């Protein structure tokens, strides 16, 4: 039995959205701490699946296609946040101003599909966000969190993608495997 590799479910960004967001970040933020996620890798992760065998992937893809999902919707981004907390951040991210309920419903649909095919449940609560940087060692990022205006970016969400991550090199590369329409 073959392996698909490391898979995750995500909402992708269009090239126009990536360019607009990169321009916005360049205007309003001084260089961010940590290792930036390159714009081609920007996405909203819905659920990380991990290493998947071919059969498990096919079963999950079919289950995700069949479960109830929200109708197409729009997402807008909000200000900056940090995981696990601003004083010891390892991740700096943009939150969701509009579309969070729909993203949560999409996360619940992915979780339901995973459960229907016998995959283990997530151990952390889902919080929709766009990762901007990864920070090692952890540091205080409060100076970057204050007074960041909402980015003027609107993402139309009409489908969800299943991606494979290729590790190695400076940053991972993401490959779109399949899409499912909402």
Task: Decide if domain 3-181 falls under CATH 3.40.50.720.
Answer: no
Cis omega (within 30 of 0) for bond into 84: yes
Separation CA 98–CA 100 (nearest Å): 6
Buried b (16+ CB within 10 A) or exposed e, 8-27: bbbbbbeeebbebbeebbee
- Edge-to-edge strands, sheet with 130-139: 35-36, 130-139, 89-98, 73-83, 154-157
Average pLDDT on 105-124 reads 92
Question: Per-domain residue ranges for the chain?
Answer: 3-181
| Residue 1: per-residue pLDDT | 65
pLDDT tier, 146 (very low <50, low <70, confident <90, very high otherwise): confident
Cα gap 78→151, rounded to integer Å: 6
Calculate mean pLDDT across residues 31-53: 92
Average pLDDT over the chain reads 92
Cα dist. 12→47, 99, 144, 156, 172 in Å? 13, 14, 25, 10, 15
């Amino acid at each position: 039995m073959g392996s698909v590799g490391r898979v995750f479910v995500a909402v992708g960004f269009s090239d126009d959205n990536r360019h607009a967001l990169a321009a916005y970040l360049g205007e309003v933020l001084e260089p961010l701490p940590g290792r930036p996620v390159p714009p081609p890798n920007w996405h909203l992760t819905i659920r990380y699946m991990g290493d998947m065998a071919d059969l498990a992937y096919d079963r999950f893809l079919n289950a995700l296609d069949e479960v109830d999902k929200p109708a197409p919707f729009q997402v807008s981004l909000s200000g900056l946040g940090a995981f696990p907390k601003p004083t010891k951040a390892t991740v700096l991210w943009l939150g969701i101003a509009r579309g969070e309920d729909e993203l949560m419903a999409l996360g619940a649909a992915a979780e339901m599909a995973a459960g229907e095919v016998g995959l283990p449940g997530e151990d952390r609560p889902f919080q929709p966000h766009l990762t901007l940087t990864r920070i090692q060692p952890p540091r205080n990022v409060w100076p970057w969190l204050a007074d960041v205006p909402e980015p003027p970016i609107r993402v139309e969400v009409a489908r969800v993608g299943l991606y494979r991550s290729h590790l190695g090199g400076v940053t991972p590369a993401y490959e779109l495997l399949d899409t499912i329409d909402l």
